[in-house]
Amino acid sequence: MGVTVIDDLAIASDLLITAKAGVRNLAVAITETATPSVKKLLRRELDHAIDLHDKIAQYMIKNEMYHAYDLDEQMQHDLEKADNALDLLKK
């Protein structure tokens, strides 16, 4: 049985994707509700979700896990991670 390797990048990336889905889901929920008090609650939660997403993204940028402002660098980074993943499959 092989060893599963989960590094900080994998964890942070999954967290960022999950946070983004939370933002999206809350935005949809706001458009689906008619109750003012529920809308207010969802808007507050949406603000928190956006803040969380930003904190995760900033952490990843600071630690060179996410290159949001340099597409070429991000693509190179993604290709290297894909190669690493393929190498793990060969072991």
Question: Within a domain: residue 30?
Answer: yes
Q: What is the pLDDT of residue 1?
A: 47
Q: What is the mean pLDDT of residues 67-90?
A: 86
- Residue 50's domain comprises 8-90
User: In this predicted model, what pLDDT tens digit does every residue of 9-56 receive, in sequence order?
Assistant: 889 999 999 999 999 999 999 999 999 999 999 999 999 999 999 999
Structure tokens at 91: 């072991």
Question: Within a domain: residue 27?
Answer: yes
Question: Within a domain: residue 3?
Answer: no
What is the 3-state composition of the chain as percent helix, strand, coil, each rounded to the nearest 5?
80, 0, 20
Question: Within a domain: residue 76?
Answer: yes
Write the DSSP symbol of residue 6: -
Question: Within a domain: residue 23?
Answer: yes
CA dihedral sign of residues 66, 55, 15, 18: negative
Q: What is the pLDDT of residue 80?
A: 87
Number of domains the chain is built from: 1
Q: What is the mean pLDDT of residues 56-78?
A: 91
Question: Within a domain: residue 67?
Answer: yes
Question: Within a domain: residue 18?
Answer: yes
pTM above 0.85, yes or no: no
Question: Within a domain: residue 1?
Answer: no
